[in-house]
């Protein structure tokens, strides 16, 4: 598995974690952490999918 495919997979996993944290958390700190994870995962996925396309 090359680094682009791995970064696309990791970005997808981080996006799932961030979306659950952002939607289901009640504490504002966890909500903001989930939102930050969503932004980071989008950047990681852009890097991965820029070279590898399924």
**Domain spans in the chain, listed from the N-terminal domain onward:** 3-51
Tokens of 34: 């989930």
Q: Tens digits of per-residue pLDDT, 2-54?
A: 999 999 999 999 999 999 999 999 999 999 999 999 999 999 999 999 988 88
Alpha helices in 1-54 (DSSP H): 3-24, 28-51
Residue 22 near residue 35 (C-beta atoms within 8 A) = yes
User: Measured between alpha carbons, how far is residue 46 from residues 28, 38, 50 in Å?
Assistant: 27, 12, 6
CA–CA separation, 9 and 28 (whole Å): 28
The per-residue pLDDT for 1 is 77
The per-residue pLDDT for 37 is 97
């Amino acid at each position: 598995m090359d680094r682009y495919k791995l970064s696309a997979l990791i970005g997808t996993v981080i996006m799932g974690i961030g979306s659950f944290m952002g939607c289901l958390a009640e504490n504002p700190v966890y909500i903001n952490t989930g939102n930050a994870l969503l932004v980071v995962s989008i950047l990681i996925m852009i890097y991965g999918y820029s070279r590898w396309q399924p």
